[in-house]
Amino acid sequence: MRWEFGTEDDRGVALVGYALVVLFVAVVGTVSLTAVGGKTSDSFESVGSTVAGDGSTVTSEVKAEEETQAEEDAKAEEEVKTEPTPKEKWDKAIQDHKQAIKDAKAQKAANIAAAKKTYQSALNENKSLPKAQKKKANKAAKKEFNAAKKAANQTYKASVSTANKAKADAKAEYQATK
């Protein structure tokens, strides 16, 4: 068999070649679209479920914002409604005063206890010193201990004074409303 160009057989072969190229392009295109289409479909399903609100983040965020706004509104209403009466303010001032005095006493006791512990520790350390040095070191430790006690007492007095002033101010305010 001999091939000659420009004959009818040549046109048939070219037609078959074009048909095969078109078929190949169609197959490649279909495979590509199927692969990309599957990924795109998954993406759209994910976005769709988020927008639909099936326990999604977007819905949760919206609900959280609505709840926060509702809580803020409730607090604002409560603040307006719950303005304490002068008597309630006075009672609260008395409670605050008692608590402040109690806290001041506890702080004073803690400060003195810490100073005493430091003093006792210094005395124990000084035991091994020669008699003259020991006496001098113990005297210095006692001086530090007394200074710490004085500072604790001054802090206590300042706290009590502040508490008493706050109580007096509250009393004056309460009596002015009578």
Per-residue pLDDT of the chain in tens (178 residues, 90 and over written 9): 455 555 555 666 777 788 888 888 888 888 777 777 666 666 666 656 655 555 455 566 667 777 888 888 777 776 666 788 888 888 998 999 999 999 999 999 999 999 999 999 999 999 999 999 999 999 999 999 999 999 999 999 999 999 999 899 888 888 888 7
- Check if the beta carbon of residue 119 is closer than 8 Å to that of residue 79: no
Q: What is the residue whose two structure tokens read 């008699």?
A: 131
Is 35 part of any domain? no
Structure tokens at 41: 């479909």
Q: Give residue 42's pLDDT.
A: 65
Which stretches within the chain are classed as H helix? 8-52, 57-81, 86-126, 131-176
In a domain, 65, yes or no: no
In a domain, 74, yes or no: no
The verdict on residue 120 lying in a domain is yes
Q: Model-level pTM?
A: 0.51
> Which domain does 150 fall in, by range?
85-178
pLDDT of residue 11: 63
Q: How many domains does the chain have?
A: 1
**Core vs surface per residue 45-81: b (16+ CB within 10 A) or e:** eeeeeeeeeeeeeeeeeeeeeeeeeeeeeeeeeeeee
Amino acid letter at 66?
E
At residue 111, the pLDDT reads 93
**R_g (Cα) of the chain, nearest Å:** 45
Q: Does 63 fall in a domain?
A: no
Residue 96 inside a domain? The answer is yes
- Tell me which residue of 84, 96, 106, 104 sits closest to 168, measured CA to CA: 96
Residue 156: inside a domain: yes
Query: Containing H/E element for 129?
Result: none
104 within domain boundaries: yes
pLDDT given for residue 83 in this prediction: 83
Q: What is the pLDDT of residue 26?
A: 83
Q: What was the pLDDT predicted at 141? A: 93
